[in-house]
């Protein structure tokens, strides 16, 4: 997939710059970045993860307690994780990788970089989120919707074309799909389903003042601060977490359909601790790990774990139909056309 190859080279340059700075996790709460993953110590798992920070922290804590083993963690955005993996390809350090978007896992499988393993809970997980042969597991998912400021928006949008109305003129933002894998997922899926109709809608949104707002976290912050009234294509778990803290935000899912991005975990073929890595994969896809996923406002891959109140279940959200392999191959062309549109 050409898009990911180019993406990795661009990100490699970014990682070099970031090396002198603090690497921030996907949800940027500045609380957890064990960027020590430099050793291959005996019985020590090395995990590269794209957040959410608190979920990774809680999972690692419980896994260490349950297994009696230590875990070294590097946290960053999906782009930063992929950039670091690329930088270390001649001297790999990571054992397990967790990302915020599925296409990169498909790319790694095609390149022969993943060690397949069928987890114990394999048959209880959403089949469209996992690889049937165990190459990757979408152990959690985030739905994409219209995040809005509840103080400024008294009549929430019901569908994405509502955002083309004068009510939202110059008060709309979208996560940049060149920085956010989930935003690119939605863009590719919407175009795949609606074709020219989708492009006409994106043009209308741009004409109504839609602007790029960086990755998911800064996009949501722009709504919380009132700089924008709505972000189209934001991840729902961040909204639910902010709402629970008392922030003036909520989310609506487009009635015409949206995307849910599985967040994959997989074992690298270069791992020096494969048996421990398998234990970790069993943990994140098992009952305890899935409960933690649900507790942190994400959609668990095991439907039976969906119990937390105050958030939508997968069955409540209308999803577009899509084939991840087909979408991944087309994403570069879609991104290029969107970038030209937003100029």
Q: For the chain (length 343 residues), average pLDDT per consecutive 10? A: 43 38 40 44 88 95 97 93 96 97 94 98 97 98 98 96 96 94 93 94 97 95 98 97 97 97 97 98 98 98 96 96 82 94 93
Q: What are the structure tokens assigned to 286, written together?
A: 């098992």
Residue 299, classed as helix, strand or coil, is strand
Residue 23: predicted pLDDT: 37
Q: What is residue 33's three-state secondary structure?
A: coil
Residue 117 assigned to a binding site: no
Half-sphere exposure (Cβ direction) of 259: Cα atoms closer than 13 Å: 27
**Residue 43: what pLDDT?**
81
- Find, among 301, 146, 316, 317, the residue nearest to 239 by Cα: 146
Three-class SS of residue 45? strand
Q: Which residues, other chains included, contact 283 with Cβ-Cβ below 8 Å and sequence gap of 6+? A: 59, 62, 63, 66, 67, 289
Domains parsed from the chain with CATH numbers: 44-141+262-311 (3.40.190.10), 142-259+332-342 (3.40.190.10)
pTM of the shown model: 0.86
Distance CA 188, CA 177 (A): 10
pLDDT of the residue at 266: 98
Amino acid 42: pLDDT: 67
Instruction: Say what the pLDDT of residue 252 is.
Output: 98
d(CA 233, CA 211): 12
**Tokens 């661009």 map to which residue?**
10
Q: Say what the pLDDT of residue 41 is.
A: 52
pLDDT for the residue numbered 289:
98
Question: In angstroms, rounded to a whole number, what is the distance separating the alpha carbons of residues 86 and 166?
Answer: 45
């Amino acid at each position: 997939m050409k898009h990911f190859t180019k993406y990795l080279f661009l990100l490699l340059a970014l990682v070099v710059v970031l090396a002198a700075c603090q690497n921030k996790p996907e949800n940027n709460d500045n609380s957890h970045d064990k960027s020590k993953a430099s050793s291959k110590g005996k019985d020590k798992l090395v995990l590269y993860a794209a957040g959410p920070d608190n979920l990774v922290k809680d999972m690692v804590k419980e896994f260490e307690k349950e297994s009696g083993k230590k875990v070294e963690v590097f946290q960053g955005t999906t782009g930063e994780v992929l950039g670091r993996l690329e930088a270390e390809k001649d001297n790999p350090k990571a054992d397990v990788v967790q990302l915020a978007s599925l296409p990169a896992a498909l790319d790694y499988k095609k390149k022969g970089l993943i060690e397949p393993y069928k987890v114990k809970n394999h048959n209880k997980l959403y089949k469209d989120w996992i690889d049937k042969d165990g190459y990757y597991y979408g152990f959690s998912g985030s739905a994409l919707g219209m995040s809005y400021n509840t103080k400024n928006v008294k009549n929430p949008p019901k569908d994405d074309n509502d955002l083309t109305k004068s009510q939202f003129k110059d008060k709309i933002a979208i996560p940049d799909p060149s920085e956010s894998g989930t935003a690119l997922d939605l863009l590719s899926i919407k175009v795949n389903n609606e074709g020219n109709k989708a492009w006409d809608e994106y043009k209308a949104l741009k004409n109504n003042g839609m602007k790029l707002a960086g990755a998911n976290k800064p996009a949501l912050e722009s709504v919380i601060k009132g700089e924008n009234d709505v972000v189209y294509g934001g991840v729902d778990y961040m909204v639910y977490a902010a709402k629970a803290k008392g922030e003036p935000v909520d989310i609506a899912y487009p009635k015409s359909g949206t995307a849910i991005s599985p967040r994959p975990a997989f074992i690298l073929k270069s791992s020096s601790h494969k048996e421990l890595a398998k234990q970790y994969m069993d943990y994140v896809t098992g009952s305890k790990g899935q409960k933690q996923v649900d507790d942190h406002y994400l959609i668990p891959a095991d439907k039976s774990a969906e119990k937390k109140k105050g958030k939508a279940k997968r069955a409540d959200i209308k999803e577009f139909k899509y084939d991840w392999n087909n979408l991944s191959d087309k994403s570069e062309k879609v991104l290029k056309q969107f970038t030209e549109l937003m100029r």
